[in-house]
Amino acid sequence: MSSNGVVDAVGEELTALLTRLGELADLPTDPVGDGAACIDRIALLERARGALAAAQHTAMVAFGRAQVEAQLDQIATGRLDPEKLGRGIGDQIALAAHVSPHVADRRLTVARALATDLPCTRALLVSGRISEYLAEQIVSLTSHLDPETRRLVDKQAAEAGLDELGRKAAVAAVKKLAYEADPVGFLQRGRTARKDRRVALRPAPDTMAVLSGLLPVEQGVACIAALRQHADSLIATGASGGRSRDQILADTLVERLTGQTRAEDVDVEVGIVLPLDALTDPDSPKTGELVGHGPLPGGIVVELLRRTGGKRWWRRLFAHPVHGGLVGGDPQRRLFDGFLATLITWRDRAWCREAFCGAPIRHLDHITGKRAGGPTSFGNGRGNCVRHNEDKELPGWHHEVLHDGLGDQPHTVQTTTPTGHTYTSRAGPVSSGLPPGSSPRPPRGPRTRRRPPRPRGPGVP
């Protein structure tokens, strides 16, 4: 049943299919014995992945179309700024699919391109003869072509027998066809890509992180050459200090970016969750946390504080004894301006609090808006990325504090989307009580349920 009470036959069929697939996952192994049936099943299930992706694409394109039509109505009645046409579509798909809006936008772009300009590629995906990954690559590699040329390349690629090629060979074949179809556009595309240069940081296992830069190729080559040159000269002069070449490369990167003379001397901001036994007992199961980068075993926190020659400061934070969410901080720190903002950022772990998003916080906003009487308080504030901050202003979106985080429940916010679906986002524990060296417990995922949409009509947002 859909959120507006209409029976959706396809939805019911998919639910039954999901149940059946769950049963297949628990079937005993190949009854025939020589494994041939298992291999057949593996091949069929691989094809099913592609067909499932195509079926999801169809739903995404249809949803996008329906939303645009509804938004055109809103523009006609003055309830939506025309410049915001199309906004919120990827965001709703993201919530439904439990992915970030960035991933949802990419999937929607792929779905639309396959539906309009790449029918042969789509047919290969529907029949499970190519993977969703390859379909995405074909969309990307042909994105600079006009629709007519794109359809031509689509046809040529299908005739080239992509489904018989390995992943790399298939991508290379499509790249060649796309280049030959429009060499000037292909080169221009390479120049345009330079505007997308960026640097990113993502967590890695064992309290490590991966710092990456998407750079014009000659600059990337120059960076790694400079690091290698420095490392080789230290090794040649016996000044490596017992470090391996890779270690020197990593240390030099940090030193040159931060201007420090020693890579270890970073200015660390470590949140120490009370009680303070993590500071005094290296075996304590309590954890600290680096803003935005998850929990660190207490022993590592102590080591960091002891080793670094940088500015050393830390902030005591109080966690709820049951759910571990942040509920307050050392009142001494009220001497700092914006302490409340800092506390909310810590509680939300520096990540956007919309369900499944995970982008860095760029705004702190009132969950219940100031105009609606929402207080500027710990409970009514949340950290948002730029995009989810703007979603709040779109018709049909509604946010509500279900728990302020000070009682037995962690801070919980409910988002209602224009279709009437609701999603909840809980603040994760800042104190997870992990033994040193173990992996962090995954945060409890947001739950989704549906309720009937609010009636649409003039004057009803």
The separation between CA 258 and the C-alpha centre of its own chain, rounded to angstroms, equals 27
Q: Which is nearer to Zn ion, 138 or 352 (by Cβ)?
A: 352
| Footprint (CB under 5 A) of Zn ion, residues 313-352 | 352
Cβ burial 289-328 (10 Å sphere, 16+ → b, else e): bbbeebbbbbbbbbebbeebeeeeebbbbbbbeebbbbbb
Q: Counting contacts by CB under 5 A, is residue 103 touching Zn ion? A: no
Q: Which is nearer to Zn ion, 17 or 386 (by Cβ)?
A: 386
Question: 175 CB contacts (<8 Å, ≥6 apart)?
Answer: 141
Question: 329 CB contacts (<8 Å, ≥6 apart)?
Answer: 315, 316, 317, 318, 339, 342, 343, 346
Q: Which stretch binds Zn ion (CB under 5 A): 80-88, 178-186, 332-340, 379-387?
A: 379-387
Q: Which stretch binds Zn ion (CB under 5 A): 85-93, 149-157, 244-252, 378-386?
A: 378-386
Q: Which stretch binds Zn ion (CB under 5 A): 232-240, 247-255, 286-294, 383-391?
A: 383-391
- Choice from 113, 153, 327, 357 touching Zn ion (CB under 5 A): 357
- Determine how β-strand 287-290 pairs with β-strand 412-416: unpaired
Q: Which is nearer to Zn ion, 60 or 355 (by Cβ)?
A: 355
Q: Counting contacts by CB under 5 A, is residue 51 touching Zn ion? A: no
Strands of 274-397, DSSP E: 287-290, 295-297, 312-319, 326-329, 363-366, 381-384
How far apart are CB 413 and Zn ion at their closest, in Å? 12
Q: Counting contacts by CB under 5 A, is residue 354 touching Zn ion? A: yes
How far apart are CB 268 and Zn ion at their closest, in Å? 26
Q: What is the DSSP string of 254-278?
A: HHHHH--SSTT---EEEEEESSTHH
Q: Which stretch binds Zn ion (CB under 5 A): 138-146, 214-222, 248-256, 356-364?
A: 356-364
For residue 451, the tally of other CB atoms under 10 A from its CB is 10
How far apart are CB 71 and Zn ion at their closest, in Å? 20
C-alpha distances in Å from residue 56, one per residue of 52, 125, 359: 6, 12, 24
Q: Which is nearer to Zn ion, 315 or 382 (by Cβ)?
A: 382
How far apart are CB 154 and Zn ion at their closest, in Å? 34
How far apart are CB 360 and Zn ion at their closest, in Å? 9
Q: Which is nearer to Zn ion, 36 or 386 (by Cβ)?
A: 386
For Zn ion, how many residues bind (rule: CB under 5 A)?
Answer: 6
Cα–Cα–Cα angle for 293, 296, 301, nearest 5°?
115
- Choice from 144, 323, 388, 403 touching Zn ion (CB under 5 A): 388
d(CA 325, CA 357): 19
Chain residues that interact with Zn ion, rule: CB under 5 A: 352, 354, 357, 359, 385, 388
